[in-house]
Amino acid sequence: MGSHEILGQAARLASSGLLLQVLFRLITFVLNAFILRFLSKEIVGIVNVRLTLLYSTTIFLAREAFRRACLSGGAQRDWSQTLNLLWLTVPLGVLWALFLGWVWLQLLEVPDPNVVPHYGMGVVLFGLSAVVELVGEPFWVLAQTHMFVKLKVIAESLSVILKSVLIAFLVLWLPHWGLYIFSSAQLFYTAVLVLCYVIYFKKLLGSPESIKQHNLPVSRMTDLLPNIPRSGAFVNWTEAKLTWSFFKQSFLKQILTEGERYVMTFLNVLNFGDQGVYDIVNNLGSLVARLIFQPVEESFYIFFAKVLEREKDATLQKQEDIAVTAAVLESLLKLALLVGLTITIFGFAYSQLALDIYGGAMLSSGSGPVLLRSYCFYVLLLAINGVTECFTFAAMSKEQVDRYNLTMLALSSSFLVLSYLLTRWCGSVGFIMANCFNMGIRITQSLCFIHRYYRNSPYRPLAGLYLSPVLLGAFVLSGGITAVSEVRLPAIFTPHASVGCPLSLTLGFPFPLCLTQLDKYLPPLLPSPKPLGQHLMIDITKPCYQQGRNRPHWVVMPFI
């Protein structure tokens, strides 16, 4: 499969992910806003911080390294060995769940049972749900590798919606269940998620025509189960060694990703109520990151990993592939920067309004608005880091991954210390400040790697981070106008909201222009009749690198 075909599939995967996740997440958003009005801050803090941390830590440590290593392999490999390696996530997950469950029950502070009942059973069921989800990992990797565009999004979105509906029903009719409500809903969510993948592959593998059409490496469901090959090793040792490298890195990355929850859980810098408010604001602030940046990062990590060879620099790769990946990377950086700046500018002025609509006075008063304003700037860093790291991790060699681990180790240590000190100094906003600092270091590391990678080639994808003074001035002016509107109309939300609408439309004007101008390059690239401009803003084509140019030619408004 050529790089252009892979890119087309990755773009369709990302765009379908965006559209479907927006639809399903909006439904979930409404349900959660409804549920929030029936819960105490303490319940929210225990579920969203303490128990969710147990679940996410088990999942991350058990599967992240396996997932990245197995997605990096090429088409020519022994899939039975890859599947055997993936099935090792299940016993590893059981071990992690048992150990972490013991820590959560014996070493951490146990909440008052009169305020938060059934804490012990909550720990058990959240750990069990993590193990259940790991059963579906071989199906997930096979689906992602073969670019099954809608399966992942539909499975996850359906699971989330059904989970939210179940929680809403139980909160209304059985509120005395306490943590039983959320624990049983979490177990139900993972069971539905795994069943979606199993049912899909059961149906797909039952049709010989579908197997041949999708060029699947398995022909029946039993091929997906672990088996001992008659000849050769049980696993691919190259993938196993890469898994170990990613495992060391994933352990550190998990601390960076969930660092504030670890500090809250193990150092008790905030009470359960304050933890609940912080987590609600954190989830609301990261909504755009989950809806837009995460599916784009996951899809294009697969694209970069398939097109580029890890052990070769840019001068030794196929030049056509280097041209395409450079153009994709520049366009993704441009997209991330524009979206991130838009969220930062308008989020600062409309944080209090958003919190009042979402959770009422419990969120819009106190530290909630300050937290969300700070998080809007953090979203800008998240957007840039997601793009740079998805390329960096896909292009790094094993030795470079090991060296990067040392940087991650230093960042992990500094983050824990810095978040603790900043939280003691300025409250829960200190977590966001510490995250911004560490995200800035990670972005710098990735930018240095990208610069070195393309240094001896004619392509400069980091030019996507450059914006013209005209566009920067438009962002500054919009921020000033909305800030004045919030001060002059603090209690009149409708006029304040009406001020931001025309400004946001004006700043959003370059986006459709980019998409429209890119359509002319699409016929030689995509088998789909749908223009790529309708999928995602990506300037990827070989004609963009015209003779004599050192970077892609952007055929858009001159102020971009």
Q: What's the pLDDT score for residue 225? A: 86
Claim to verify: residue 319 and residue 357 sit in the same structural domain: yes
Over residues 499-507, mean pLDDT:
48
Residues 231 and 283 in one domain: no
| Closest residue by Cα to residue 47 from 135, 128, 111 | 111
- Residue 519 or residue 255, greater confidence: 255
pLDDT band at 113 (very low <50, low <70, confident <90, very high): confident
d(C-alpha 371, C-alpha 375), whole Å: 6
- Of the residues 222, 237, 265, which one is the last residue of a structural domain? 265
Please check whether residue 85 lies inside any domain of the structure: yes
| pLDDT at res. 181 | 92
29 exposure class (CB count in 10 Å sphere: 0-12, 13-18, 19+): middle
- H/E stretch holding 548: none
> What is the average per-residue pLDDT within 144-171?
84
Residue that is last in its domain, among 474, 491, 508:
491
CB atoms within 10 A of CB 511: 16
In a domain, 19, yes or no: yes
**What pLDDT does residue 489 have?**
58
Q: Are residues 61 and 113 in the same domain?
A: yes
Residue pair 344/552 in contact by the 8 Å Cβ criterion:
no
Q: How far apart are CA 387 and CA 280, in angstroms?
A: 25
Single pTM value for the model = 0.67
Domain check: are 246 and 299 in the same one?
no
State whether 47 and 148 are in the same domain: yes
Which amino acid, residue 407?
Answer: T
Say if 110 falls within a structural domain. Answer: yes
Q: Among 250, 265, 280, where does a domain finish?
A: 265
The answer to the question of residue 463 being in a domain is yes
Over residues 49-91, the pLDDT tens digits come to 999 999 999 999 898 888 888 887 655 667 788 888 889 999 9
Q: Are residues 230 and 162 in the same domain?
A: yes
Longest dimension (CA), the chain: 76
Q: What's the CA gap between 460 and 378, in Å, rounded?
A: 26
Query: Does pLDDT of 311 surpass 80?
Result: no
Percent of the chain with pLDDT over 70: 78
- Domain identity same for 172 and 239: yes
Q: Do residues 236 and 280 share a domain?
A: no
Distance of CA 317 to the CA centre of its chain: 28
Is the domain of 358 the same as that of 429? Answer: yes
Structural domains counted in the chain: 2
Residue 210 is assigned to a structural domain of this protein = yes
Measured distance CA(345)–CA(49) in Å, rounded: 29
Residue 511 lies in a domain: no
Q: What does each C-alpha distance from 266 to 49, 199, 259, 260 come to in angstroms?
A: 11, 40, 11, 10
Show the domain range for 441: 270-491
pLDDT at 381 over 90: yes
Residues 393 and 412 both lie in one domain: yes
| Per-residue pLDDT, 332 | 86
What DSSP letter does each residue of 325-354 carry, written as one string? Answer: HHHHHHHHHHHHHHHHHHHHHHHHHHHHHH
* Nearest-angstrom CA–CA distance, 512 and 515: 5
CA distance 471 to 477: 10
Is residue 22 assigned to a domain? yes
